């Protein structure tokens, strides 16, 4: 796990030699260089698509692991991830070249601990943290409050690698000190993690009394003193268990253990104050887990080719969480109403969606997609853009080669510039199938081409097309008769490459009351796809019309509660209510807002905020 950095810890005597050869600057410190300046020019930047041994996910609780976004990863080796619970500050170790011997890492001016802060949803360029005025090599860091615990190779050590602490004061880390013989020599503390209340220190060590190799231990602080360590027998085996991490609530212990010959990430849960049998979460060169408060797993992944380590990157596997949101629906186009909308949108969830003509993607100034994507960092939301080629089942313009090229170019350019988390290509596409089957076939083939081209420039963007669920199920709108299986269109789903399966749903068009909706209404989707589910338009009207389909504000709120109940066992990734404020359109859609246009909230507002 530590070839890039911690192989040096087995040869700490090199420090003494290097100290004798290196000289500090006039200000007493060694030179510090930009990390990319030290990466060899011929270094190979590995990518997921060329990875011979990609991380393997073994849990349905998380999304597939992907490289951490932003400027963290390079062609060098990024290792030892540690993220603060807030998910706002990230620490890691960097080494420019995994083939460089330890004595050169010590004095290259770039190897060491780095930090990056998330600003308006974007990770900033990492900065080096200097923890010594002399030669040292630092790593295995843990930060709690204004104190950093770290291990280091330096001349003051009691052993080859010692634990130190540093304090954050006046914008820099200072007052570093060795933690003494008890922890370093007597207890032989290795990489470690302290519980959020500061009373327990979990660490790995090969000290005597273990199960063999490296084990995980815990020492408890009593009257200010760390007590004799205890072996965590529930998680330790004859193999090596190490790199412990505890969640803030102290109920989950994450660590490394080999699996099929390479490092893997395991989790043990604490039940009735006892650690349970660990479960495998991620395998295949996956190590050193660190989690934020949302449960997202940050870990190091080492790239190997032909049995040789090439480099290492930080990966993240996000915990599957329902992302709620609303479509862009201010009361008017005035600046005040836009500001009001974004303030309200923050309360409804994480997503703001824009949907409209595909041609809008190509606008270099203004245009809905660019506005929604461009304001995302300012208002801290996830933009979701959907574009369509048709309206009411009729193409907006002929889907000839010229039009397709314009559409494709605009989608690729937009994805390359904004790298959006989500991009929908086609809205209620089954309406096109019903009205013009030949145009639908042409679109399906074209969509799949665009899918590949967008993935080439923005591989992490989740791409999808959108189906109208009630029609897909075989319902006739404005009829309360059961769906006709002969009219169902589920087979259309298989025509498209998708990362998620997306739908619009307006069950008030086929059911007069929320209580009439069958229990398997949404669960049925799972019979036709294994992809995560997105509802990018959800609505139920609140006015006493049209005739025979009268509703009320109480009924609208009841539907929202029903919706979340009926989807609780569905692998639902996204749920978007269609409007915050009532739109200026026809019934029944004109009364589907969560709030009145005078700004007051309907009961549906609170129902949506509490839905999960």
Name the residue among 82, 104, 74 with its Cα closest to residue 7: 104
What pLDDT sits at residue 192? 97
Fold of the domain spanning 323-610: TIM Barrel (3.20.20)
pLDDT: which is higher, 1 or 116: 116
Name the residue among 252, 184, 243, 194 with its Cα closest to residue 218: 194
Span 219-233, pLDDT tens digits: 999 999 999 999 999
Judged by DSSP in three states, 406 sits in helix
3-class SS shares of the chain: helix, strand, coil, % to 5: 25, 30, 45
What pLDDT sits at residue 29? 57
**pLDDT confidence bin for 11, thresholds 50/70/90:** very low
Give the span between the Cα atoms of 212 and 210, in whole angstroms: 6
Span 21-31, pLDDT tens digits: 344 455 555 67
**pLDDT confidence bin for 44, thresholds 50/70/90:** confident
- Torsion on CA atoms 508, 432, 323, 290, rounded to nearest 10: 150
Give the span between the Cα atoms of 173 and 167, in whole angstroms: 5
- Name every residue whose Cβ is closer than 8 Å to that of residue 212 and which is 6 or more positions away in sequence: 237, 238, 239
Average pLDDT over residues 505-530: 96
Q: Percentage of the chain surpassing pLDDT 90? A: 84
Span 381-418, pLDDT tens digits: 999 999 999 999 999 999 999 999 999 999 999 999 99
**Residue ranges of the alpha helices (H) in 279-333?**
none
What pLDDT sits at residue 32? 83
Give the span between the Cα atoms of 535 and 464, in whole angstroms: 12
What pLDDT sits at residue 25? 53
Token pair of 529 as six digits: 């796809």
Average pLDDT over residues 158-174: 95
Mean pLDDT of the chain, nearest integer: 92
pLDDT: which is higher, 23 or 558: 558
Span 257-313, pLDDT tens digits: 999 999 999 999 998 999 999 999 999 999 999 999 999 999 999 999 988 999 999
Same CATH topology for 6-317 and 323-610: the answer is: no
What pLDDT sits at residue 61? 84
Fold of the domain spanning 6-317: Neuraminidase (2.120.10)
Three-class HEC string of 336-370: HHHHHHHHHHHHHCCEEEEEEEHHHHHCCCCCHHH
What pLDDT sits at residue 327? 97
What pLDDT sits at residue 608? 98
Name the residue ranges covered by the structural domains of the chain.
Answer: 6-317, 323-610
What pLDDT sits at residue 10? 39
What pTM does this model have?
0.65
Question: Cβ(584)–Cβ(329) under 8 Å?
Answer: no
Q: What are phi and psi of 280, to 5 degrees?
A: -75, 130
Average pLDDT over residues 554-563: 98
- Note the residue count of the chain: 612
Q: Is residue 13 over pLDDT 90?
A: no
pLDDT: which is higher, 13 or 178: 178
**pLDDT confidence bin for 6, thresholds 50/70/90:** very low
Token pair of 469 as six digits: 């669920």
Lowest-pLDDT range, 100-104, 132-136, 145-149, 429-433? 100-104
């Amino acid at each position: 796990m530590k070839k890039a950095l911690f192989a040096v810890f087995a040869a700490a005597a090199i420090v003494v030699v290097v100290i004798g050869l290196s000289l500090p600057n006039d200000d007493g410190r060694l030179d510090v260089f930009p990390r990319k300046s030290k990466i060899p020019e011929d270094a190979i930047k590995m990518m997921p698509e060329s990875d011979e041994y990609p991380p393997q996910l073994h849990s349905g609780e998380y999304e597939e692991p992907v490289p951490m976004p932003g400027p963290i990863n390079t062609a060098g080796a990024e290792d030892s991830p540690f993220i603060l619970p807030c998910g706002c500050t990230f620490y890691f170790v960097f080494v420019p070249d995994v083939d460089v011997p330890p004595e050169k890492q010590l004095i290259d001016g770039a190897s060491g601990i780095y930090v990056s802060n998330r600003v308006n949803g974007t990770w900033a360029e990492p900065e080096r943290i200097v923890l010594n005025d002399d030669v040292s090599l630092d790593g295995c860091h843990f930060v709690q409050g204004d104190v950093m615990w770290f291990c280091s190779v330096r001349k003051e050590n009691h052993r080859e690698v010692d634990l130190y602490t540093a304090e954050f004061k006046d914008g820099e880390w200072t007052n570093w000190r060795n933690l003494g013989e008890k922890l370093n020599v007597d207890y032989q503390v290795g990489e470690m993690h302290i519980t959020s209340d500061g009373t327990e220190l979990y660490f790995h060590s090969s000290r005597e009394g273990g199960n063999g190799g490296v084990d995980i231990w815990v020492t408890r602080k009593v009257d200010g003193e760390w007590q004799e360590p205890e072996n965590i027998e529930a998680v330790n085996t004859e193999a090596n268990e190490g790199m412990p991490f505890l969640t803030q609530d102290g109920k989950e212990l994450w660590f490394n253990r080999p699996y099929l010959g390479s490092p893997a990430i395991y989790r043990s849960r604490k039940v009735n104050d006892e650690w349970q049998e660990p479960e495998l979460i991620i395998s295949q060169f996956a190590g050193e887990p660190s989690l934020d408060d949302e449960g997202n797993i940050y870990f190091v992944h080492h790239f190997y080719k032909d049995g040789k380590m090439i480099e290492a990157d930080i990966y993240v596997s996000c915990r599957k969480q329902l992302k709620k949101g609303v479509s862009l629906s201010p009361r008017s186009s005035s600046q005040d109403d836009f500001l009001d909308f974004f303030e309200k949108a923050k309360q409804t969830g994480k997503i703001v969606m824009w949907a409209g003509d595909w041609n809008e993607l190509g606008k270099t100034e203004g245009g809905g997609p660019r506005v929604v994507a461009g304001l995302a960092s300012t208002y801290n939301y996830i933009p979701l853009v959907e574009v369509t080629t048709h309206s009411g089942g009729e193409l907006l313009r002929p889907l000839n080669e010229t039009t397709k090229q314009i559409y494709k170019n605009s989608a690729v350019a937009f994805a390359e510039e904004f790298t959006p988390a989500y991009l929908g290509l086609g809205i209620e596409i089954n309406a096109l199938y019903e009205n013009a089957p030949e145009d639908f076939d042409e679109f399906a083939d074209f969509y799949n081409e665009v899918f590949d081209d967008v993935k080439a420039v923005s591989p992490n963007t989740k791409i999808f097309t959108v189906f109208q669920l009630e029609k897909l199920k075989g319902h006739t709108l404005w009829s309360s008769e059961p769906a006709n299986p002969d009219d169902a269109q589920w087979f259309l789903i298989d025509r498209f490459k998708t990362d998620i399966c997306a739908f619009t749903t307006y069950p008030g068009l086929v059911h007069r009351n929320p209580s009439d909706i069958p229990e398997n209404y949404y669960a049925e989707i799972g019979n036709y796809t294994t992809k995560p589910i997105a509802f990018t338009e959800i609505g139920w009207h609140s006015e006493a019309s049209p005739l025979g389909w009268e509703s009320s504000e109480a009924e609208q709120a009841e539907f929202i509660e029903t919706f979340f109940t009926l989807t609780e066992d569905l692998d639902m990734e996204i749920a978007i209510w269609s409007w915050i404020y009532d739109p200026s359109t026809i019934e029944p859609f004109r009364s589907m807002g969560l709030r009145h246009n005078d700004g007051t909230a309907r009961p549906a507002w609170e129902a949506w905020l509490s839905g999960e």
